[in-house]
Amino acid sequence: MKELKAPPRDNLIRAVRPGLELRAGEGDDAMPTLVGHFAVFNQWTEIDSFWEGTFMEQLAPGAFAKTFKENRSSIKITLNHGMDVLGDQILAMPKVLREDDEGAYYEAPLFKGIPELVMEGLRHDAYGASFRFNVMK
């Protein structure tokens, strides 16, 4: 008899496109600020993953409340979850992080020194917004 494996529970990723807007920074030499929703509530999404399988998923309001309250200081903005040539270099830290009626909302002023290739991608909406998570229940 074939043993069923439990689905993965750690380091899962969900994405929203476009999920971000690039706004001008405050001040003459300020970097732009990323603004948007990295997760949307009450919207069915098909997950078709080699690791997790194929199924429908929906995020509920309140899904991020505990993490925002207890782990806010560990939340960071990286490119491609650190799985790229930039490694796990932090691009920004969220200045605003909250749930609203639409989903999980953020505002994050970018750090100086981000490569021009990445900045051009941000300016041309080449990236979305996403989050990495562990299943708790």
Q: What is the CA radius of gyration of the chain?
A: 16
- Residue 7 in any domain: the answer is no
pTM for this model (two decimals): 0.85
CB-CB contact of 16 with 57 (8 Å):
no
Q: What is the pLDDT along the chain (137 residues), one digit of tens a residue?
A: 566 677 788 888 888 887 788 898 777 778 999 999 999 999 999 999 888 889 999 999 999 999 999 999 999 998 887 777 776 788 999 999 999 999 999 999 999 999 899 899 999 988 889 898 888 77
Question: How many domains in the chain?
Answer: 1
Q: Quick check: is 5 in a domain?
A: no
Q: What is the DSSP string of 19-79?
A: --EEEPPSSTTPPPEEEEEEEEBS--EEEEETTTEEEEE-BPTTTTHHHHHHSGGG--B-S
Q: Does residue 3 form part of some domain?
A: no
Give the domain range for residue 97: 12-131
- What confidence score (pLDDT) does residue 34 get? 94
Residue 6 lies inside a defined structural domain of this protein: no
φ/ψ of 2, rounded to 5, equals: -75, 130
On whether residue 2 sits in a domain, the answer given is no
Spell out a b/e string for 77-111, using b for 16 or more CB atoms within 10 Å of the CB, else e. bbbeeeeeebeebebbebeebebeeebbbbbbbbe
Q: What pLDDT does 20 receive?
A: 86
